[in-house]
A = this chain, B = another copy of it.
Amino acid sequence: MRNFIENLNKAFESRVRLGIMSILMVNETVDFGTLKEQLQITDGNMASHLSALEKLKYIEITKQFIGKKPNTSYAASALGKKAFSDHLDALERLINKTN
């Protein structure tokens, strides 16, 4: 491998997006409010990170009503799971310097 860091995915450099993806790797779907609460960031910031991940097709969005309240939930796409998993592999290789 020529370069140690080139396989790290830019999309997952941010603490927030790292957090979002970690949560979505373990939980099938998670709604906006829960994510916001877990990560403790403002809703605007939350929305913009989610939007960045959606643009990359790393997450999928489902809008519905639960009772009378709107509820938006997020799930990692197959592509997103792959990308995240690849990123973790790259991190691991980087740290262990096995390449």
Spell out A's residues near B (CB within 8 Å): 2-6, 8, 10, 13-16, 18-19, 22-23, 25-26, 38-40, 88, 91, 94-95, 97
Contact = CB atoms under 8 A, between A and B. Distances in A.
A39 B4 contact: yes
Contacts of A95: 22, 25, 88
Nearest to A7: B15
Nearest to A14: B13
A94 B26 contact: no
Chain A interface mostly helix, strand, loop or mixed? Answer: helix
Contacts of A25: 95
Nearest to A10: B15
A13 B17 CA distance: 11
Nearest to A97: B26
A68 B26 CA distance: 56
A5 B13 contact: no
